Amino acid sequence: MSEEQWLPFWPPVASNTAVSVDRLFIGEFALSIVILGLVFGMIIAFSIRYRRGSAADRGNRVKKTWHWEIGWTVGSLAVFLCLFVWGANAYVWLFEPPRHPDLEIYVIGKQWMWKMEHPGGQREIDELHLPVDKTVRLLMTSEDVIHSFFVPAFRVKHDVLPGQYETMWFKPTETGRFRIQCAQFCGTQHAHMIGDVVVESEAEYAQWLTTQGVHASLAQQGEALFRADGCSGCHSANSTVHAPSLAGIYGRVVHLQSGEARIVDETYLRDCILLGGAHIDVAGYPPVMPSFAGKISEGDILELISYIQSLSSQPGGSP
Amino acid sequence: MREIVPEPQFATLEQQTETAQLGMWVFIATEVMFFGALIFTYFIYRLTYWEQFRLAGADSRILLGSINAAILLTSSLTMVMAINFAKEGRQQRVIAFLLVTASLGVLFLCVKGYEYVLDYESNAVPSLNFAFKSGYHAPSELYWVWYFVATGFHALHVTIGVGAILAMTRLAWRGRFSPNYYTPLEVLGLYWSFVDTVWLFLFAAIYPLGRAVT
Amino acid sequence: MSAKRESLVPYIVAWLVLMLLLGMSILSAYLDIGIFHPMVTFGIAATQAAIIFLVFMRLRGRPSLKWVFAAGGFFWLSFLFGLSIIDYATRSGFPAH
Amino acid sequence: MSALAADLPTSYLTEENTIASWLLTRDHKRIALLFFASVTFFFFIGGIAATFVRLHLLNPAGVLLQPDMYNRMFTMHGVTMVWFFLIPSIPATFGNFFIPLMIGAHDLAFPRLNLASWYVFNLSGLFLLYTYFAGGVDTGWTFYAPYSTLYANGHVIGAAVAVFINGFSTIMTALNFVVTIHRMRAPGMTWMRLPLFVWAIYAVSLVMLLATPVLAMTLALVGLERFMGVGIFDPSLGGDPLLYQHMFWFYSHPAVYIMILPAMGVASELIPCFSRRPVFGYTGMTFAIIGIAVISFFVWAHHMFVAGISVFSAIVFSLMTFFVAVPSAIKVFNWTATLHKGRISFDAPMLYALGFVGLFTVGGLTGLMLATLPIDVHVHDTYFVIAHFHYIMVGGTVSAFFGGLHYWWPKITGRLYPEMWARVTAVLTFLGFNLTFFPQFILGYLGMMRRYYAYPAKFQDWNVLSSAGASILAIAYALPLFYLGWSLLWGQRASANPWRATGLEWLTSSPPPKENFARTPTVKVPPYRYDPEDDSFISQDGVAHA
């Protein structure tokens, strides 16, 4: 669709998710037209035929109403259930990120900008460069209020909450610039919390990555923080403090003091750094980890997590 | 004693009584939702931050909470007795028991106030002088925030109740009730017992945490 | 209608039971029963509430409209708890790695 | 038909006419008029805010208002319209006036409480106006935490207090209705003989009673959190922002039905009367009303499909949302079937009622789209949602409000309104409404966000259309002020039953006497006993009218 059309009717279709959402929408739109035509048609037809003063026969009115009512109750229920199943199916697919995405991007929302971090350590503000035809998983959090990451051309949207991680995924199928918008009201400049997704060919994307002048990947930056913030003082093999080693811990199941078991994921690691307490602390270790709440930014936490993740992907590595 | 007639929209006094009682029950249903929503927040956070709530709860004052529960339970009994004496038309006793009930309500508020003072002295009041004690993490403060909100709303209800009881005492003094008609008393009794019930749930939510000897 | 005496005995008995339950609630605070703890204390509170509703608030006797509204609030509250817990109970389990 | 009122020459309007007699009245009819004055005032306050919003959006760069002012405007529009117009609109005015009349009672059960409700409503209104004059609020009507509690730069506490107090008024009125409908029905007025308007008000009162306290608690927590700086929804304490949304929507979704159910009740009065035939499927209609009221509590998290709730719970709430659409569909089909073989006249109330059915259907069908999860993911928080709920709230509720206003105007005032003007206005409303809000569906799917003071230039044409429609709508909403006002003074005197309707409210004189009925009527037949063949009808006291 060109930009110059007189009245736009349809947003660009630029991802695999957009195709599937559009299909569903068109299906329901057609159904709505049918139902609307039926109701409006009947109202108009009855209004004309049975207007006051018309000579239409008004005898033999439908007296027994139950089979009519049961008819349209069951009818609408059946139609609705079909729509529900179709929708729920697509939603599970839409909201279940692939296990091994081609690319994982960290997104931090703050009043009123989007900060993106690429695995190689490249950072962008209000712009997100992506290669075409690759599945992308976003790990998103907010530094202040609730934002919502929305790319109309991809038909995907997810709220970005402070204090927790949310994920979403998509696979761009067209190159070009597409708008990012904040969908959850977040303050004065909410309308300007916008940006662009720049979808490029793989070669262009690789080229772009190299021109960013970054020498350390996110994980390497996280490792530097790990030492600077004193984490290594306890969590290293030769430490005198009895603290769990972090090598290979990401993705494993740990048993907690409270008796629960939890998968070590981004949310769990974040809680460990910020909240502390027995619903976090691993069984068998003294609860001595201090809370870093207020002392560390969301970006730093993501770097630390990236570092801890990297310890799992290189077996034998020990901090 | 002057003749008591129903208000113009009612046919009989019985209809008026029944209607007033139903009105209070409907109101109690809304109050259940009000305090229920509060307990709902407790429920979610207690499950999420089990240990933090246990730790913080151990610093609450169960002795004062228990005394207060006993005071309110007793006041419910005295209220019911006042209503019973109204049914028998024994005005002196009605007034006496209403005053006892109101005094117990005031006593409750005094104990509650004393507890607040102790909480303040032990630096447990969020936004005023909250201090993280050993083992406390951020969610521990949630417990204390909740404690003050919940007991505050309840104390407000008790205060309104005491005021209403005193107003009823005045009406009883002026001979406005008869064995045929003491509906306002009955309706107030429902409210008072309900406020008592709320405290029992708050008690269960606030005080018994983190005292188990392991 | 002449003054008809209603016995105070049921009310006093109810009060005694309520105090007893309060004692049990306090005692249970010192028992190490872990996750059952809130169940016990809130269970006792619910029992006490039932006694107060039935005796002090005179719901005893034949069922009436009052019952509907007395129970209605609690019943409706269960939707708030029940439907929200669907979310909370399943939230962290997804995405499963 | 005026037998019941024959020996009562004075009406509630003329009984005693001092200012004190109005301000201290316990008469439900006068209190209804007091409420009418209050909600009309707030309707125009909210309308002015809407006008500014639409004017501002004429230009994609948003030059009319500063961003902060624009944010305050849409918040003002939302808060005012939701709590100070839509929720009290039909129940507190027509409900107050006609519930006792329709069930054959002399007043509501608690007249003093009724009056107190009006005062509390106005008190909350004063808080609201104070909030606006002191600088306004910029959170949107949803007050989402943690924005509202920690970051917003407006008078959140003032607005929260206003809405909190407003809740008391809602609860007082609803409690009064529930108890009145239970205890004060005239002899013979069984549940299955109640007019559907009474059923609707009963159901909506239950919803108000059970939902409003949760909102009160939620806003109290938000207010405290903002006031004290620490609180229940603060993420830095481990608080969960989604908990706020759960509690808020537990109220605010049923609140949508609080707004639409009374409108359905009004439509169910108007359509049989002007079709001159019994409502199709009375029993089914009552079940549908109760069904909507109950299921409305199970669907709230469909406002949170992209908010971070679990996928499983989103699916559950989506299913529930499809279920709530079923009784709504039943009602639409039953209204349509009521027209079949009727003797339809197109007086202004009927035009509004037909407009209501049509617009509600559009709103309902787009509601189905929103209930479908992936579509909601795309259009959530866009103008698609705005258009959808305005079709329900404005196209539905406000149309029914005006329909009811014209229908009952002769009964309330004793005067007939000028029919031609009213018909023109009804048609104008319908056209203006569609021109305003239909473009917003398209804008929404294109990706135009709500609460944006600036938007991409390519959306401008649709926005201009929408604003043009809004100006037509504004005229259509202002017109009744003039011709209804005119009719107060110079309108033709109305007979007791100008529409030849069956309800008990038409048995007494127009306007009714202070006591409503000289003696309590006895009900013998169900409502809506109209016969389209010979235009006769049987009123509810069992008297046949040729």
User: Mean pLDDT for chain D?
Assistant: 93
Among the listed residues D234, A250, C39, A278, the one whose alpha carbon sits nearest the alpha carbon of residue B48: A278
| Cβ separation B212–C5 shorter than 8 A | no
Q: Which two tokens stand for residue D421?
A: 């003007």
| Cβ separation D318–A159 shorter than 8 A | no
- Restricting to D residues 306-335, those with a Cβ less than 8 Å away from any Cβ of A are 306-308, 311, 314-315, 318-319, 322-323, 325-326, 329-330, 332-334
Residue among D182, D246, D311 minimizing CB distance to C84: D246
Mean pLDDT, rounded, for D183-203:
95
Tell me chain A's radius of gyration from C-alpha atoms. 27
Burial class (CB in 10 A: 0-12, 13-18, 19+), A49: middle
User: Which phi and psi (to 5°) does residue D526 adopt?
Assistant: -65, 165
Predicted local confidence at residue C63, as pLDDT: 74
Does the pLDDT value for residue B93 go beyond 80?
yes
Kindly state whether A283 is in contact with chain D, defined as any CB-CB distance less than 8 angstroms.
no
Which of these ranges, A304-308, D270-274, D410-414, D461-465, has the smallest mean pLDDT? A304-308
Q: What is the 3-state secondary structure (H, E, C) of chain A?
A: CCCCCCCCCCCCCCEHHHHHHHHHHHHHHHHHHHHHHHHHHHHHHHHHHCECCCCCCCCCCCCCCHHHHHHHHHHHHHHHHHHHHHHHHHHHHHHCCCCCCCEEEEEEEECCEEEEECCCCCEEECEEEEECCCCEEEEEEECCCCEEEEEHHHCEEEEECECCCEEEEECECCCEEEEEEECCCCCCCHHHCEEEEEEECHHHHHHHHHCCCCCCCHHHHHHHHHHHCCHHHCCCCCCCCCCCCCCCCCCCEEEECCCCEEECCHHHHHHHHHCCCCCCCECCCCCCCCCCCCCCCHHHHHHHHHHHHHHHHCCCCCC
Does the pLDDT value for residue B48 go beyond 90?
no
Which of these ranges, B175-184, C22-31, C66-75, C85-94, has the smallest mean pLDDT? C85-94
Q: How far is CA D243 from CA D81, D229, D248, D265, in A?
A: 25, 18, 8, 34
User: Mean pLDDT for chain C?
Assistant: 86
Task: Please give the Cα distance from D84 to D167 (Å, whole number).
Answer: 10
Predicted local confidence at residue B213, as pLDDT: 66
Q: A-chain residues within 8 Å CB-CB of C94?
A: 96
Burial class (CB in 10 A: 0-12, 13-18, 19+), A196: middle
Whether the bond between A112 and the residue before it is cis, its omega within 30 degrees of 0, is yes
Q: C-chain residues within 8 Å CB-CB of B193?
A: 52-53, 56-57
Q: Which two tokens stand for residue D488?
A: 């107060």
Q: How is domain B33-206 classified at the CATH fold level?
A: Four Helix Bundle (Hemerythrin (Met), subunit A) (1.20.120)
Mean pLDDT, rounded, for D186-208:
96
Does the pLDDT value for residue C97 go beyond 60?
no
Q: Which two tokens stand for residue B73?
A: 């339970």
Kindly state whether D307 is in contact with chain C, defined as any CB-CB distance less than 8 angstroms.
no
Q: Which two tokens stand for residue A190?
A: 């909410």
Can you say whether residue C7 is alpha, beta or left, with left for phi > 0 and alpha for psi between -120 and 50 degrees?
Answer: beta
Q: Is-contact D265 D200, C-beta < 8 A?
A: yes
**Cα of D210 to nearest chain B Cα, Å:** 6
Domains of chain D: 2-545 (1.20.210.10)
Among the listed residues A140, A176, A144, A137, the one whose alpha carbon sits nearest the alpha carbon of residue A158: A140
Coil/strand/helix, residue D533: coil
Does the pLDDT value for residue A5 go beyond 80?
no
Among the listed residues D378, D341, D337, the one whose alpha carbon sits nearest the alpha carbon of residue D357: D337
Does the pLDDT value for residue B11 go beyond 90?
no
Predicted local confidence at residue A276, as pLDDT: 63
Mean pLDDT, rounded, for B61-88:
95
Task: Please give the Cα distance from D340 to A39 (Å, whole number).
Answer: 12
Does the pLDDT value for residue A1 go beyond 60?
no
Predicted local confidence at residue A277, as pLDDT: 61
Predicted local confidence at residue D2, as pLDDT: 41
Coil/strand/helix, residue D529: strand
Mean pLDDT, rounded, for D425-433:
96
Task: Please give the Cα distance from A140 to A162 (Å, whole number).
Answer: 9
Q: Which two tokens stand for residue D267?
A: 């439509």
| Cβ separation D210–C72 shorter than 8 A | yes
Q: Interface of chain C against chain A, CB under 8 Å? A: 92, 94-95, 97
Q: B-chain residues within 8 Å CB-CB of D517?
A: none
Predicted local confidence at residue A159, as pLDDT: 95
Mean pLDDT, rounded, for D74-103:
96
pLDDT class of B202 with cuts at 50, 70, 90: very high
| Cβ separation B139–A274 shorter than 8 A | no
**Cα of D139 to nearest chain A Cα, Å:** 7
- Angle (CA) D16-D17-D22 rounded to 5° is 100
pLDDT tens readout for residues D209-249: 999 999 999 999 999 999 887 778 888 778 889 999 999 99
Task: Please give the Cα distance from A181 to A157 (Å, whole number).
Answer: 9
Q: Which two tokens stand for residue D429?
A: 């409303």
Q: How far is CA D150 from the centre of its chain?
A: 32
Whether the bond between A101 and the residue before it is cis, its omega within 30 degrees of 0, is no
Does the pLDDT value for residue B128 go beyond 60?
yes
Tell me chain C's radius of gyration from C-alpha atoms. 19
Residue among A167, A251, A262 minimizing CB distance to C95: A167
**Cα of D123 to nearest chain B Cα, Å:** 20
Kindly state whether B92 is in contact with chain C, defined as any CB-CB distance less than 8 angstroms.
no
Kindly state whether A293 is in contact with chain B, defined as any CB-CB distance less than 8 angstroms.
yes
Predicted local confidence at residue A224, as pLDDT: 87
Mean pLDDT, rounded, for C42-62:
92
Does the pLDDT value for residue B10 go beyond 70?
yes
pLDDT class of A65 with cuts at 50, 70, 90: low
CATH 2.60.40.420 fits A11-50+97-215, yes or no: yes
pLDDT tens readout for residues A170-205: 999 999 999 999 999 999 999 999 999 999 999 999
- Restricting to B residues 7-46, those with a Cβ less than 8 Å away from any Cβ of C are 21-22, 25-26, 28-33, 36-37, 40, 43-44, 46
Q: Name the helix (H) or strand (E) containing D538.
A: strand D537-538
Task: Please give the Cα distance from A138 to A159 (Å, whole number).
Answer: 12
Among the listed residues A156, B212, A241, C54, the one whose alpha carbon sits nearest the alpha carbon of residue D377: A156
Residue among D67, D314, D533 minimizing CB distance to A191: D67
Locate tokens 């139609």: which residue? A79
Which of these ranges, A132-141, B153-162, C3-12, D374-383, has the smallest mean pLDDT? C3-12
What is the ipTM for the molecules in this complex? 0.91
Predicted local confidence at residue C55, as pLDDT: 93
Does the pLDDT value for residue D358 go beyond 60?
yes
Burial class (CB in 10 A: 0-12, 13-18, 19+), B109: middle
Kindly state whether A51 is in contact with chain D, defined as any CB-CB distance less than 8 angstroms.
yes
Coil/strand/helix, residue B103: helix
Q: Is-contact A95 D310, C-beta < 8 A?
A: no
Q: C-chain residues within 8 Å CB-CB of B190?
A: 57
Predicted local confidence at residue A256, as pLDDT: 77
Q: Which of C65, C68, C76, C83 to mutate to test the interface with D (most CBs of D within 10 A)?
A: C83
Mean pLDDT, rounded, for D135-144:
92
Q: Which of B44, B74, B80, B190 to mutate to test the interface with C (most CBs of C within 10 A)?
A: B80
- Restricting to D residues 193-212, those with a Cβ less than 8 Å away from any Cβ of C are 210
| Cβ separation D313–C87 shorter than 8 A | yes
Q: How far is CA D439 from CA A7, A26, D375, in A?
A: 11, 17, 18
Among the listed residues A97, A32, A195, the one whose alpha carbon sits nearest the alpha carbon of residue D384: A32
Q: A-chain residues within 8 Å CB-CB of D442?
A: 9
Task: Please give the Cα distance from D149 to D234 (Å, whole number).
Answer: 8
Share of chain B above pLDDT 90, in %: 68
How many pairs of residues across B and D have Cβ atoms under 8 Å apart?
A: 106
pTM: 0.93
| Cβ separation C87–D250 shorter than 8 A | no
Locate tokens 């999860």: which residue? D373
Neighbours of chain C (3+ CB pairs under 8 A): A, B, D
Task: Please give the Cα distance from D341 to D338 (Å, whole number).
Answer: 8
Coil/strand/helix, residue D323: helix
Whether the bond between D512 and the residue before it is cis, its omega within 30 degrees of 0, is no
Task: Please give the Cα distance from D295 to D321 (Å, whole number).
Answer: 8
Q: What is the DSSP string of D359-393?
A: HHHHHHHHHHHHHSHHHHHHHTTBHHHHHHHHIII
Helix axes C36-51, C9-28, angle to 10 degrees: 170
Cα dihedral sign, D164-D392-D323-C93: negative
Q: Which residue ranges make up each domain of chain A?
A: 11-50+97-215, 218-313
Pairwise pLDDT comparison (B180 vs D36), residue with the higher score: D36
Does the pLDDT value for residue A259 go beyond 90?
no
Does the pLDDT value for residue C3 go beyond 50?
no
| Cβ separation B51–A274 shorter than 8 A | no
Does the pLDDT value for residue C96 go beyond 70?
no
Predicted local confidence at residue A213, as pLDDT: 80
Mean pLDDT, rounded, for A38-46:
95
Task: Please give the Cα distance from D311 to B170 (Å, whole number).
Answer: 59
Pairwise pLDDT comparison (A200 vs A287), residue with the higher score: A200
Q: Which residue of chain C comes nearest to B20, CA vs CA?
A: C66
Task: Please give the Cα distance from D339 to D349 (Å, whole number).
Answer: 15
Share of chain D above pLDDT 70, in %: 98
| Cβ separation B142–D238 shorter than 8 A | yes
CB atoms within 10 A of CB A52: 15
| Cβ separation C66–B79 shorter than 8 A | no
Predicted local confidence at residue A314, as pLDDT: 55
Predicted local confidence at residue A24, as pLDDT: 94
| Residue partners of D374: CB distance under 8 A and separation at least 6 | A17, A20, A21, A24, A87, A90, A91, A94, A155
Share of chain D above pLDDT 90, in %: 88
| Cβ separation D217–B34 shorter than 8 A | yes
Does the pLDDT value for residue D4 go beyond 50?
no
Predicted local confidence at residue D6, as pLDDT: 45
Which of these ranges, A161-165, A294-298, B68-72, has the smallest mean pLDDT? A294-298
Domain A218-313: CATH class, spelled out: mainly alpha
Q: What is the DSSP string of D477-524?
A: HHHHHHHHHHHHHHSPBP-S-TT---SGGGTS-SSPPTTS-SS-----
| Residue partners of C46: CB distance under 8 A and separation at least 6 | none
Mean pLDDT, rounded, for D290-298:
95
Mean pLDDT, rounded, for A36-42:
95
Does the pLDDT value for residue A19 go beyond 90?
yes
Predicted local confidence at residue B2, as pLDDT: 58
